[in-house]
Chains A and B, each alone.
Chain A
C-alpha cells in the first residue's frame, strides 16, 4: 500500500515569512495529493489539492508542487499570518484510498 512521510513535524515561522512542508510517497501509481488544514478543536479541511498530471497549483497565498519522478510534493505558504497557525496534513491517494502523513504543526509568531 501507499506510505506517506511528512516533514517537519513542527515549524515555527515569523509572521510574513514563508513556510514549506514536504511530503514523500512510496507508490508511483498514486494520482491525487490533497492538503488538509486542522485548526484547534476542529476537523481537517481541504485547502488545496493536485493531481498527478499537474506539476504546480496555486491559490492565493498557498501553492503545491509535485515532482512525480522523485515522488515528493510540497506545500508553500507565503506571507504567513497568525490564522495560518494550525496542523497541516498531506495525503496521497491510490485507488481512491487516502493515506495521510503524520502532520505538521505550524506556529506563526508575530
Chain B
C-alpha cells in the first residue's frame, strides 16, 4: 500500500531535550516536506526536499533541522525543543511535478513542556 509513515504518533517531551520525528514513504517520490498545523493558521511549511541531499527552508524553519540522505526518508530534528513548537506535524511527499498530489502521513502530535 502506498503510504507515508510518521513515527511517533504522539510525543511529550521537555524543553531542550533533542528529538527526531521520522518520516518514510514507499512511493519513490522525489519531493518531501514537513508541515506544522496550528489552530487558525492552517498548514505551514517547515522544510522541504526536492531530492536526495537537496533541502530548503519553508515558511517557518526556525528551531528545526532536516536531512535527506535516502530518497525514502526525511526526518525532522528538533535540537532544543521549546513550548512554542507544541503542534501537530505532518510529513508529505509527491512526485517532482509541482501539480501532483501531496500524500500526507497521519501526523505526530508533539507537546513540549
A contacts, CB < 8 Å to B: 6, 9, 31-32, 34, 36, 41-46, 49, 51, 89, 93, 95-98, 100-103
Closest to A93 in B: B98
Q: Please give the distance in Å from B1's CB to the nearest CB on chain A.
A: 14
Given known contacts A42-B107, A49-B99, A93-B98, is B40 in contact with A9 (CB within 8 Å)? yes
* B35 CB contacts on chain A under 8 angstroms: 100
Q: Please give the distance in Å from A65's CB to the nearest CB on chain B.
A: 18
User: 4 additional contacts, CB 8 Å, given A43-B92, A49-B99?
Assistant: A36-B104, A44-B43, A44-B104, A100-B44
A100-B59 Cα distance, complex, nearest whole Å: 11
| Cβ-based interface call for B106 (8 A) | yes
B contacts, CB < 8 Å to A: 4, 35, 40-45, 90, 92, 98-99, 101-102, 104-107
* A46 CB contacts on chain B under 8 angstroms: 101-102
* A93 CB contacts on chain B under 8 angstroms: 98-99
A95-B56 Cα distance, complex, nearest whole Å: 14
* A6 CB contacts on chain B under 8 angstroms: 42
Question: Are A43 and B42 touching (Cβ within 8 A)?
Answer: no
* B4 CB contacts on chain A under 8 angstroms: 43
Question: Are B98 and A41 touching (Cβ within 8 A)?
Answer: no
**Interchain residue pairs A-B with the least CB separation, the first 4:** A96-B98, A43-B104, A46-B101, A102-B42
* B104 CB contacts on chain A under 8 angstroms: 36, 43-45
Q: Please give the distance in Å from A59's CB to the nearest CB on chain B.
A: 13
A95-B40 Cα distance, complex, nearest whole Å: 25
Of A36, A100, A102, which one neighbours B40 at CB under 8 angstroms? A102
Question: Are B42 and A89 touching (Cβ within 8 A)?
Answer: yes
* B105 CB contacts on chain A under 8 angstroms: 43
Question: Are B107 and A43 touching (Cβ within 8 A)?
Answer: yes
A6-B104 Cα distance, complex, nearest whole Å: 21
* B101 CB contacts on chain A under 8 angstroms: 34, 46, 49
* A44 CB contacts on chain B under 8 angstroms: 43, 90, 102, 104
